[in-house]
Amino acid sequence: MKTPTSASPYIDDTPPGTIRVSVAEATKIGERALKKIGFSQEDAGIILGQLIDNALCGYPFTSLPRILAIANDPKTKAPRRPVRAVHETPVSAMLDGGNNVGYVAVYKAAEVAIEKAKANGFSIVGVHDSYYSGRNAYFVEKIVNAGFVTLHSACGQPHVVPPGGTRPALGTNPICIGFPSAKGPFILDMGTAALQWGEVQLHARIDAPLPDGVGVDRNGMPTRDAKEALLGGVLPFGGHKGFGLSLAMQTMGLLAGAARPNGNVQDYGFLFITFAPDLLMPGDQFAEQVARLMEAVKATPRKAGVDEIRIPSERAFRERERRRREGIVLQKKVVDALNAL
C-alpha cells in the first residue's frame, strides 16, 4: 500500500466513493471548513485535535463529518461566550459552556479536572450550555495520561426510544472510564444507545442502510432507513439493561446542569469525576497492577479460530499508529460537502 506524502496526499487504492488523505491534508480540509463557519484558529485547533484523532482511531462518523453536523446546528450560529466557572471549590467546578461546542467546552473542563486533581488529589467538574463533544475517550485519555483515574459521563438531546416507547426520551448518553497503566491507558468508552447518533447521520448522508435492530421510524417501528431513523430514533443497547444505564447517565447529567428551567432535559451535561490512585495506594504500584490484570485477561485460553482477546481501546490505539503511516480514508461526499461550506 502506498503511503501519503505532503506532495501527494491521495492514494488510489481506496474503496469506491472514498479518498485517502494524509493527516496534514485532513487537517487543512477541516480547518478551512471550521473557519468558514465562524470558529477561531484556537477553537478550530482544539476541535480538530479530536476529529483527526477520531479518524486515526478508526471512528469515521465522529471525525470530519461532524463538522457538517456542527455547521447545521442552530447553536453554532448563536453567540458564544467564554467558558467560565459559575460555582467553584478547591475540588469542584460547575462550568457554563457559553454555548461553545462540546469539543471546546469539554476539553476545557478536562483541563480544569486535571488542574484541581493535581492540587488536591480529587476533582469533580461539570459543564453545561454546550453541545456535541464527540468521542469521550479523547478527553479521558488526556486525563489518564496525567496520571489519574477518571469517570466521564455525557447526556444530550433525546434520540433514544425506551423499550416499548414510540418517541425518543434519552440521549445516546455514553459513559467512559479510564485508568493509568504501566503499559498504556486502559479506557472503556461505550455508548448506551445501539448506535451513536453521529453514525445515523453519516449513514443518511451517504445513503447507507442501518444495521438491523438499531433504528426506529417516527412511529416507533423498526427501520434500516437512516433518514427515517433521523425522524424517529434509535434503541438502547441490550434492552432494559442498556436503557437503565442510559437513564443513570442522563441523571448524572443533571449534576452537570443539563436540565432546562422547566425541568426538561434538553441541554447537554458533561461530568468528570477524577482522582489520583495514590489516595489509596502508590500510583506506580496501581499502574503495574492494572498492566498485570490486562496481561492476565489477554492470556485467557481462547476458542479455536480466535487470534487474540482484545482489551477495550486496544484496537483503536493500534489503528491510530497504522493510520498515521497509511493515511485517513474519508467519504468523498463528505469532503465535497466540507469544501462547499
Give dist(CA 141, CA 182) in Å, integer. 14
CA distance 283 to 180: 9
- Architecture of domain 18-72+318-339 in this structure: Orthogonal Bundle (1.10)
Domain boundary assignment for the chain = 18-72+318-339, 82-193+236-279
**Residue 57 predicted with pLDDT over 90:** yes
Q: What are the cell numbers at 304? A: 479455536
Neighbours of 208 (CB within 10 A): 12
User: Residue 186's pLDDT band (boundaries 50, 70, 90)?
Assistant: very high
The Cβ of residue 213 has, within 10 Å, a number of other Cβ atoms equal to: 13
pLDDT band, very low/low/confident/very high, at 3 (cuts 50, 70, 90): very low
Alpha carbon distance 198, 226 (integer Å): 11
Confidence class for position 260, pLDDT limits 50, 70, 90: low
| Residue 283 pLDDT exceeds 50 | yes
User: 272 near 255, Cβ under 8 Å?
Assistant: no
- Which has more confidence, 11 or 20? 20
pLDDT value at 12 more than 50 = no
Find the distance separating the first CA and the last CA of the chain, reported in whole Å.
32
Residues 85-107: pLDDT tens digits?
999 999 999 999 999 999 999 99
Mean local confidence (pLDDT), 10-23: 73
pTM: 0.88
Local confidence band at 266 (pLDDT 50, 70, 90 cut-offs): low
Assign 6 a pLDDT band (cuts: 50, 70, 90).
very low
The letter for the amino acid at 177 is I
Evaluate if residue 11 carries a pLDDT over 50.
no
Q: Which amino acid is at 61?
A: F
- The pLDDT assigned to 209 comes to 94
Identify which of 341, 329, 337 has the alpha carbon closest to the alpha carbon of residue 17. Answer: 329
Average pLDDT, stretch 65-77? 92
CATH number 3.30.1370.60 is the correct assignment for the domain at 82-193+236-279: yes
Mean pLDDT computed over 274-297: 98
Average pLDDT estimate for 265-269: 75
- pLDDT for the residue 76: 93
Burial of 143 from C-beta contacts in 10 A (0-12 / 13-18 / 19+):
buried
Which pLDDT belongs to residue 17?
Answer: 87
Per-residue pLDDT, 259: 75
| Separation between Cα atoms, residue 133 and residue 198, nearest integer Å | 11
The pLDDT tens digits of the residues spanning 291-314 come to 999 999 999 999 999 999 999 999
Confidence of residue 34 (pLDDT cuts 50, 70, 90): very high
What Rg value do the Cα atoms of the chain yield, rounded? 20
Pinpoint the alpha helices (H) of the chain: 23-36, 41-56, 65-72, 74-77, 102-120, 136-144, 197-205, 226-231, 240-255, 283-298, 314-326, 332-339
Q: Cα–Cα distances in Å, from 99 out to 18, 73, 95, 186, 268?
A: 33, 12, 11, 32, 10
User: Do 32 and 71 form a contact (C-beta atoms < 8 A)?
Assistant: no
The chain-wide mean pLDDT, for the chain, equals 92
Cβ contact 324:23 at 8 Å: yes
| Mean pLDDT (whole number) for 208-223 | 94
pLDDT over threshold 80, residue 262:
no
* pLDDT (mean) for 43-55: 97
Per-residue pLDDT of 152-162, as tens digits, reads 999 988 999 99
| Averaged pLDDT, 210-226 | 95
CA count, 13 A, side-chain hemisphere, 217: 8
**Would you say residue 7 has pLDDT above 80?**
no
So what's the pLDDT on residue 36? 96
pLDDT at position 205 is 85
Instruction: Give whole-number Cα distances, 69 to 54, 62, 76, 170, 205, in Å.
Output: 16, 10, 10, 19, 11
